[in-house]
Amino acid sequence: MPAIAKNDFIQSIADAFQFISYYHPLDFVKAMSKAYDIEQGEAAKDAIAQILTNSRMCAEGHRPICQDTGIAVVFLKIGMEVKWDTDMSIEDMVNQGVRQAYTFADNKLRASVLVDPAGARKNSGDNTPAVIHYEVVPGNKIDVICAAKGGGSENKAKLGMLNPSDSIVDWVLQTVPTMGAGWCPPGLIGLGIGGTPEKAMLMAKRAIMDDIDMADLIKRGPSNRVEELRLELFDKVNALGIGAQGLGGLTTVVDIKILTAPTHAASLPVGLMPQCAANRHIHFVLDGTGAAEFERPPLSAWPDIGWKPDDLATRVNLDTLTKAETATWKPGQRLLLTGKMLTGRDAAHKKINDLLESGQPLPDGVDFTNRAIYYVGPVDPVMGEAVGPAGPTTSTRMDKFTDMMLGKTGLIAMIGKAERGQVGIEAIKKFGAVYLMATGGAAYLVSKAIRSQRLIAFEELGMEAIYEFDVVDFPVTVAVDSRGENVHETAPRIWRKKIGKLPELA
């Protein structure tokens, strides 16, 4: 067997990460198309339409599915007889491939990896290092899985150390609602059952790399206990009514994947790993005959949904926004925003807080009076784009600053991803503000509503700086109204009752 050449290995890794940044796996496209067809919740159906339209646009334009282009996760199964033609370590070659992929000029991906995580948290600049999992197996090939995992879904991973007599189903049904919508459903849930705690988590992550075959499993029926469990959990997790983006609806997951391993008699570890709507992974094998080749899927594999701003949504002029107007909005109402909004996320909020606490004014041009802020950290633009893919980031991280922002800056509306926490909702209620939700996993589509951007302040924060976006028909859903009514609390409750397979919540 020929040796595996350094450049072939590096190029394969680089090509794989570029490929998955803009091509969803077709099994996911198919499963989401089915979810779109059957969805009855209006807001959830609109979110799935945005996700699928975004997916097709990314496939066509070779631009990232999501602004969070993920942390690079690589699973390697290395044959014991494999020979290498390289002067680099496997780890260094993987990282070189990741570096090449994330800095590729035509489709630069967002560098999200920070070194010194408990200290300076400094961005490595090229998304390295990757997280690499190795297995040594018989044979003379290398089996590679590359995955780009977004922070929003990774943050919702759970580990349960159950008693052997506990019900795995009950634990999953208790746990999934606690994950909110920050993991951007619809997606998949991977479970690793057995082993030790770290083995269970690794199996859960590895499980979501397997093909989506729930439709086949339903058709042919279960042939073992794991398949029975998958079917039961698929039915019951969807019966929770969480729905796309937590807006209430029929599809929260398109599959449940499970891997198991023998475990200690006293233990039942269960790892739970969510996979968001930006489901990005690819599998290839190297045998020394050259770099991997990735076949472009035909655009005809995508449904022709063509999401567009529609007249059922309420059109809003951001430039004349008042609290009197925002007070008329209802949870679940779809809006199309036109005009100017400011951006800012974690680091900008901290800076604003520090300035105000020390009695200093905000920088020139930073005026939030009667404005909306968008929690976003876009991908860099390429080839004449106003902005790169620019979907929302998780809003709960801004909760601790919300009282300050609403009380001290004149801000009246916030736009982000998923639910708000109790502290954020209390502040919204106190100041009669509103929280609007954009669709996570539809970043390229959302970015097309942004016609221009202008740097306002904190340039040193890079993608976290404050910009002013000029938008046209920017799609959002009212998630928390000015009275503090929260769609992420009410909608799943309503849909759980409508679906009627689980007991109603008290």
Q: Which positions lie near ligand SF4, rule CB under 6 A?
A: 66, 68, 150-153, 183-184, 276-278, 391, 417, 440-441
Task: Name the phi and psi angles at 437, rounded to 5.
Answer: -120, 130
Q: Indicate if the alpha-carbon torsion angle 5, 8, 10, 16 is positive or negative.
A: negative
Q: Indicate if the alpha-carbon torsion angle 385, 388, 392, 398 is positive or negative.
A: negative
To the nearest whole angstrom, how small is the minimum distance from the Cβ of residue 365 to ligand SF4? 28
Task: Name the phi and psi angles at 201, rounded to 5.
Answer: -65, -40
503 CB-near residues (< 8 Å, 6+ apart):
none
Type of residue numbered 54: N
Type of residue numbered 177: P
| Of residues 186 and 195, the one with the C-beta less far from ligand SF4 | 186
Name which of 194, 190, 191 is nearest 164 in CA terms.
194
To the nearest whole angstrom, how small is the minimum distance from the Cβ of residue 19 to ligand SF4? 16
| Of residues 152 and 190, the one with the C-beta less far from ligand SF4 | 152
| Of residues 79 and 389, the one with the C-beta less far from ligand SF4 | 389
Name which of 315, 451, 462, 448 is nearest 390 in CA terms.
448
| Of residues 107 and 338, the one with the C-beta less far from ligand SF4 | 107
To the nearest whole angstrom, how small is the minimum distance from the Cβ of residue 134 to ligand SF4? 25
Q: For the CA atoms of 248, 181, 318, 433, what is the dihedral angle to 10 degrees?
A: 90
Name which of 321, 367, 374, 356 is nearest 482 in CA terms.
321
To the nearest whole angstrom, how small is the minimum distance from the Cβ of residue 418 to ligand SF4? 8
Provide, for the chain, the percentages of residues in helix, strand and coil under a 3-state DSSP scheme, each rounded to the nearest 5: 35, 25, 40
To the nearest whole angstrom, how small is the minimum distance from the Cβ of residue 269 to ligand SF4? 24
| Of residues 334 and 417, the one with the C-beta less far from ligand SF4 | 417
| Of residues 69 and 402, the one with the C-beta less far from ligand SF4 | 69
| Of residues 74 and 188, the one with the C-beta less far from ligand SF4 | 188
Instruction: Tally Cβ neighbours within 10 Å of residue 3.
Output: 12
To the nearest whole angstrom, how small is the minimum distance from the Cβ of residue 375 to ligand SF4? 11
Q: What is the DSSP string of 183-216?
A: T-SSEEEEEEEES-HHHHHHHHHHHTTSPP-HHH
To the nearest whole angstrom, how small is the minimum distance from the Cβ of residue 318 to ligand SF4? 23
To the nearest whole angstrom, how small is the minimum distance from the Cβ of residue 441 to ligand SF4? 3
- In whole angstroms, give the CA distance from residue 401 to residue 344: 12
8 half-sphere exposure, CB direction, 13 A CA radius: 19
